[in-house]
Structure 1
């Protein structure tokens, strides 16, 4: 439990005041009950809960000028928006819904979409999930997939052991046909490690296990399966991309308790002294720390060799986000598609999002005049005179690791060629804008070693008064969506203040299995007991 009487909060200067010098020297000492590092969804969830609770003093810091973290949005000079990867809003939590609705309360703030998603396989568009829609494949591939599913179903009846890795899980659940056509190559492109090197406890609701009888019926009747999964319906902000959500959430917090940019950058964490040194020389003394930076980076700033060595057992992949802005009407073959999966090696990307379909404000309006930078085949346009649209856009994601290197220098060119190879764009299409940004920590890999590291690392940090949470703070991809991440911060604060159980961190299958309507204002253990 937190003792609020121990320390008091000095007035924290706003970022604007620091720039203007109205508060005097930035090199000061601040005392707070709870310090939050990072203003992505997890850090903002923690700050939101702290602001709601009457008692603890707090401060949130972030080295970026704007909040959002790995859920932020960039804008190209030409006016095309691109998120940090494919983000959509769907929720398992009423508390999360309420906070988002408070930040963006108007119906005009949102668009709601039905997911229209496909897998590109051998020149065909197979509805997602692939394993439920093999009726769209050639007859030879249908036979391979059904034979594999039957073998898997028969094996499941007699198996007395659990799969030891993701690859075994794939074979047992989908069979060899689906594994070789889609699951193995696609997941290698996503995770940048072979499926044999990944555990399978993280899967939960993320992968659909096929119903052999229904799949066979659909093949005979040439039918597709219906929509599946928690994001079959999703929301997207009308303006400012996903990052706009988190900017709006941050605006509901007291400005005096936030520090962004260079004044919020953490240089060192001294866990023994419970002290954080910021880049501008400010020293923040805390009682409890909610950390949302990558946990491997955290222990480096702490200088704790034992924890640094332990964190080296965690694996991650780098994500390259590539954007292509195109002049012209959206092609009929693209239609209302949302995101698309690419398991084959005729393109470097594993996923494409038709980002212009999410909101008409994700690209310049049709009357904006832009020059053609190049044609899709790399040739020069006949004219570079700026002219009007309309415009549409595609956002691509490419993974990279030591086990799956990429040619960074030519990645944009190779991706555009991949769009041509997969019939997403035509060689003569006019490209008016391009975007490429690499995010070093893109995906926290559910490696075979992960749990062995986390079961030691996270408790060791908590013993030092540090709750490390979030997509990379707690390194659990299965609770790494925006709603999960936000609630990891909320529940960390509830645990600090009143000892409540952190359901999202400790019971991912539970929180993913049903909608949580509790508002988390009661003791977490009581809430869990009610639902169990």
Structure 2
């Protein structure tokens, strides 16, 4: 059977590798190179992650096994321990902030007391009306007001009280009252999977992406304009045909490409919102940090990705990130506020970067996904599933989808 996969990002490449031994698989990719939002660009001998800083780790053994046994051996990666900080009131405190109360106490004792009082008295009933409500019930009013709400306004370009909290599960370290208290009297830290992570020994994530793409049939520069199901097959652009179709294309776009999609589904798809992201690569002063988070609303940048710290040996380069489309000049001007940033090196504005979990998210995604499931078109990945997925969750979702497809369609030749 022939399998068509739309999009050659991490999800498309992963599921193609998983199905390639059982089906005739082809990937259609509109760009001139594969890798999706995880691809890098070599600048001054540095891997510039144009859309975020992509690294790898997972709490799922099956994902680690797939990568280390079938794609890039564990010896071909090095381990980086996260050294992330938050710029708060002109000071650097450890990330996650709820474990940094002792540090906050050193420069603002009253703030530390208010954070502690509010966290320990917060009443979390498990019922949240919006993202702001979620933060207040999980962390208390003070932490919400000084960090979580201003930071999330920046990274989503939207008021938290107009957003769903659907994305936060597994994304944020969430201490309970006991672990929070331990953080006050000891060195208690979160145990999120990305507290340490892997990066290729070549100092370029492209090595992993190239290994993932090895042996696959990928048609580059192929833009999908029309999808039609007829004669029991999927037909793409009135030319290529497949028995099974898997799409990693954005969920807000795919219904409009499929012939015969009901108008109500197209309307639901149009309600799905996403953000672009603008990034700039800088030569910097030396640092051992991996990330710096910036909640200050007066600072354009919301995050520094100290990409040079991912390398072995390290290099003095960092990426600054802003949600939305910003000009080169705006990025440079904002960078002048921080003497850590020495020289702008490169700049990029993305297309789809982050899905927005607004008031339409739950209903619109359900209606669109239900329709695509009804017509038996598989959707996959951050944009195909309209989720805030890291690389490892994209791989996990690919493993699960590949298993379903094999169970339904693959019939081994009899011996």
Normalised TM-score (structure 1): 0.70
Residue ranges of structure 1 left out of the alignment (5+ in a row): 5-31, 363-390, 401-405, 501-532
Match of 1:43 among 9, 12, 24: 12
Superimposed CA distance per residue, residues 295-350 of structure 1 (whole angstroms, 9 cap, x where no aligned partner): 22222322534332111121211111211124xxx53xx2x211111101242111
Q: 1:411 to 1:242 in 2, by over 3 A?
A: farther
Counting matched residue pairs gives: 401
Cα deviation for residue 171 of structure 1 reads: 0.6
- 2:73 corresponds to which residue? 105
CA distance in 2: counterparts of 1:236 and 1:465, whole angstroms: 36
Cα contact 1:347–1:419 (8 A) shared by 2? no
Cα deviation for residue 213 of structure 1 reads: 5.2
Q: 1:286 to 1:306 in 2, by over 3 A?
A: farther
- 2:331 corresponds to which residue? 412
Cα contact 1:271–1:465 (8 A) shared by 2? no
CA distance in 2: counterparts of 1:347 and 1:288, whole angstroms: 48
Superimposed CA distance per residue, residues 149-206 of structure 1 (whole angstroms, 9 cap, x where no aligned partner): 1331xx34xx4x6111111111111111100110001111111111112212332232
State whether structure 2 residue 397 is matched by structure 1 residue 488.
Answer: yes
Cα deviation for residue 96 of structure 1 reads: 2.7
Cα deviation for residue 226 of structure 1 reads: 2.2
Cα contact 2:14–2:212 (8 A) shared by 1? no
CA distance in 2: counterparts of 1:93 and 1:64, whole angstroms: 31
Cα deviation for residue 105 of structure 1 reads: 2.3
Residue ranges of structure 2 left out of the alignment (5+ in a row): 410-415
Cα contact 2:328–2:347 (8 A) shared by 1? no
CA distance in 1: counterparts of 2:195 and 2:18, whole angstroms: 29
Cα contact 1:291–1:467 (8 A) shared by 2? yes
Cα deviation for residue 99 of structure 1 reads: 3.3
Counting only pairs closer than 5 Å after superposition, residues 321-340 of structure 1 correspond to structure 2 as 321-326=279-284, 330-331=285-286, 334=287, 336-340=288-292
Counting only pairs closer than 5 Å after superposition, residues 458-473 of structure 1 correspond to structure 2 as 458-473=369-384
Q: 1:35 to 1:51 in 2, by over 3 A?
A: same
Compute the RMSD of aligned alpha carbons.
2.4
- 2:254 corresponds to which residue? 298
- Partner of 2:338, secondary structure, is helix
Counting only pairs closer than 5 Å after superposition, residues 7-406 of structure 1 correspond to structure 2 as 32=2, 34-53=3-22, 56-76=23-43, 78-83=44-49, 84-101=51-68, 102-105=70-73, 107=75, 109-137=76-104, 138-152=108-122, 155-156=123-124, 159=125, 162-212=127-177, 215-216=180-181, 218-219=183-184, 221=185, 224-239=187-202, 241-251=204-214, 253-254=215-216, 257-260=217-220, 262=221, 264-272=222-230, 274-277=233-236, 283-302=239-258, 304=261, 305-326=263-284, 330-331=285-286, 334=287, 336-360=288-312, 392-400=316-324
Normalised TM-score (structure 2): 0.89
- 1:379 corresponds to which residue? none
Cα deviation for residue 410 of structure 1 reads: 2.7
Superimposed CA distance per residue, residues 37-80 of structure 1 (whole angstroms, 9 cap, x where no aligned partner): 11111111211111133xx322112122322111111122x333
Cα contact 2:276–2:349 (8 A) shared by 1? yes
Cα deviation for residue 240 of structure 1 reads: 5.4
